[in-house]
Amino acid sequence: MLDLDAEDKTLGEKEIIRLQQMKTGALIVSSVEAGAVLGKASPHARHALVAYARAVGLAFQIADDLLDHTASEAEMGKATGKDADAGKETLLSLWGEDRAREQARILTEQALGYLEEFGDKAELLRDVAQFAIHRRR
């Protein structure tokens, strides 16, 4: 609903980030946090995992906006350019392509930093973070 409400509205950076965190980011956070709860993670570990998930979620959304802007329909397997056509503000439309790519990279590095304490046990989560910004679809 919030996504639809944002069409044809001018949003600031904080509002766009909040909106994007409530989309795919919220799904990633809830999935990672559920794993932390089921795995009986300590409060400190749970906090680190949630911080990881927030960073990955926003990086994923930025990458998604970049793909929507730069990839073809054939590459994506779906229509592209939908956000621009709908007049939706995104971090890409606010920052431009170069800064959006850089921010996605920075967020991914931050996410990986939150996993350092977990060593090899977090390898799959590291792969997820890399996939989030390097995917082609």
DSSP assignment letter at 36: H
Put simply, whether the predicted model's pTM sits higher than 0.85 gets the answer: yes
CA 79, 81, 83 angle in degrees (round to 5)? 110
Token pair for 104: 């996605």
Q: What is the pLDDT of residues 27-64, one digit of tens each?
A: 999 999 999 999 999 999 999 999 999 999 999 999 99
Q: 123-134 and 43-70 are packed helices; what angle lies between their axes, rounded to 10 degrees?
A: 20
Give per-residue pLDDT as tens, 91-135: 999 999 999 999 999 999 999 999 999 999 999 999 999 999 999
pLDDT at 7: 57
* Nearest by Cα to 38 from 26, 49, 27: 49
Contact of 118 with 103, CB cutoff 8 Å? no
Q: According to the CATH classification, is domain 2-134 in 1.10.600.10?
A: yes
Residue 77 has pLDDT above 80, yes or no: no
The domain spans of the chain are 2-134
